Amino acid sequence: MTLSFAIIGCGKIAKRHAEQITRVGKLIAVCDVDFQRAQQLATDFNCNAYHDISELLATESNVDVICICTPNYLHAQQTIFSLNAGKNVLCEKPLAIDSLDAENMIQAALTNQKKLFVVKSSRYTPIIEELKKQIDFGTLGKIYSFQLNCVWNRPNQYYAENWRGTYEQDGGTLYTQFSHYIDVLLWLLNDDAENFSGFRSNLSGKNIEFEDTGAISVKMKSGTIGSIHYTVNAFLKNQEVALSIVAEKATIKLGGEYMQELLYQFPEIIKQSNLHPNQPANDYGTYKGSMSNHDKVYDNLVLALNGKESKHIDGSSALKTVIFIENIYQQIPLTN
């Protein structure tokens, strides 16, 4: 079955979605409150343009999947609206910036008997997929501790768009910059957090309502302890996203700018020659985001909607990341 798609939100990530949609199905329509932006994307991909999601859903009755590519604070509202209209939904990260909203999204999918897919593209990075296999197989044994280090750059002009930098619309640095890597951490560990402590500060004085830097200690329910250091103050460009895991039978470290490289392992549990090549990162000109892997997101979405076995990420899985980040923001105050 050839699937038909519509994109809500025609910003920077929308083109990445449009490219993959035209590979696996048909892009019928795009929508943006900035109608000129919608018209430009529609012209580029030969589809219809709308400025209102209600009009799109009322007119394009044959759309199978709505792709939500809007700012963070609109994800829940637009996802639920689309699900209630009888459409499957692919939502960009983060699923939501409030756990109750995320739960309502999941419930809307169940009520309408539709699929809610979430873009958690870093799970498809080859080295991360292989490490997950080894952890689940028991190769590492009991996991004692972890260290997640996220050091990126986001210049002041990045926050010039009015939705960025606010709790209400952006949600915070962990949601917008690093939720992919929180998701990877929780997915690898298959564990939930029990306790948080640490610090969050806006050390560079950016014009934002939340932190540009955080240092968090975490105790997981299994007893595993770890730390998360994150910042968007790296000088001029991204430095790294690195994860070290100390376990009963092995020690391993992933790194690189997007956690795409194997930096250390002892003993050898992963043969790098067996790994598929990495995808390029999302490049937005003045800054770079996480690795794309949107091809794998769409491949697995198509498999799932055609009733075949897939590695898609659903709302319930993505909810864990929302709860984890929400707890950090609720339990650790912002300090000067």
Domain endpoint, select from 70, 102, 120: 120
**Packing angle of the helix pair 294-305, 14-24 (nearest 10 deg):** 50
Residue 136 and residue 112 in one domain: no
- Tell me the CB-side half-sphere exposure of residue 98, using CA atoms within 13 A: 12
**CATH number, position 30:** 3.40.50.720
Output the pLDDT for position 121: 94
Output the pLDDT for position 278: 72
> Would you tell me how many other CB atoms lie within 10 Å of the CB of residue 102?
28
Residue 54 and residue 112 in one domain: yes
Residue 131 and residue 111 in one domain: no
* pLDDT, tens digit only, all 336 positions of the chain: 799 999 999 999 999 999 999 999 999 999 999 999 999 999 999 999 999 999 999 999 999 999 999 999 999 999 999 999 999 999 999 999 999 999 999 999 999 999 999 999 999 999 999 999 999 999 999 999 999 999 999 999 999 877 999 999 999 999 999 999 999 999 999 999 999 999 999 999 999 999 999 999 999 999 999 999 999 999 999 999 999 999 999 999 999 999 999 999 999 999 988 787 776 655 656 555 555 799 999 999 999 999 999 999 999 999 999 999 999 999 999 998
Residue 168 and residue 264 in one domain: yes
Domain endpoint, select from 90, 120, 150: 120
Sign of CA dihedral 23, 25, 26, 27: negative
**CATH number, position 213:** 3.30.360.10
Indicate the pTM of the whole model.
0.95
> Would you tell me how many other CB atoms lie within 10 Å of the CB of residue 48?
16
Output the pLDDT for position 287: 56
Tokens of 29: 């329509």
Output the pLDDT for position 292: 74
Residue 83 and residue 175 in one domain: no
Residue 129 and residue 142 in one domain: yes
Specify if 305 maps to a domain: no
Specify if 310 maps to a domain: no
Q: What CA–CA distance (Å, rounded) separates 117 from 198?
A: 32
Select from 195, 267, 183 the least CA-distant residue to 226. Answer: 195
Residue 136 and residue 8 in one domain: no
Q: Which domain holds residue 207?
A: 122-290+315-335
Specify if 80 maps to a domain: yes
Output the pLDDT for position 109: 98
Tokens of 208: 């934002």
DSSP strands (E only) in 46-190: 48-50, 65-68, 88-91, 116-118, 143-151
Residues 6 or more apart whose Cβ sits within 8 Å of residue 151: 229, 230, 231, 234, 238, 239, 240, 241
Provide the 3-class DSSP secondary structure of residue 142: coil
Q: What CA–CA distance (Å, rounded) separates 125 from 92?
A: 17
Output the pLDDT for position 273: 80
Contact 12, 284 (CB under 8 A): yes
Residue 140 and residue 43 in one domain: no
